[in-house]
Amino acid sequence: MRMEQGTVRKGLILVIDDEPLVRELLVTVLNEAGYDTHDTPDAREALGMVERTDYDLLVVDINMPGMDGKAFFQALALLAPDMASRTVFVTGDVGNPTTRDFLLKAGRPVIAKPFDISALEKLVAHELAQHPQAASRCPDSSELPLQR
């Protein structure tokens, strides 16, 4: 999705979630907060997107069919370690010991589903503030291709 031309771009975020309603909600909330977004339901497709685009932040669901968020994060750490450090996880499975262990080892923030929109906005702003150089590397939103 592209913001209107002339709008100050706050960051480019890739949303990866297989649940259409959750993905659409994340994209809507982030767009309304002033962020540009690309989204996909497929983690393998997301790896290709990451190879072509330097995202400021990635919002990744952990439990997805095919390549899940854990396998995606491991592949991302090899492919683009800097982007791995700009990953936020979303999951409805924080009570699962395997998921908890993964999240502890990954050392990245997580938002539990169902998530609080305000908490999501604050976490995204906080994470982007940790990597201000990322947003400055990206083109103006008017130069970004439309993606949905």
The stretches of 40-131 forming alpha helices (DSSP H) are 43-52, 69-79, 81-84, 97-106, 117-130
What digits encode the pLDDT tens for the residues 75-119?
999 999 999 999 999 999 888 999 999 999 999 999 998 889 999
Q: What is the value of pTM for the model shown? A: 0.83
d(CA 62, CA 99): 8
Domain ranges of the chain: 12-134
Of 59, 64, 71, which is closest to residue 28 (Cα–Cα)?
59
CATH node for 12-134: 3.40.50.2300
Tokens representing residue 9 in the block: 């771009």
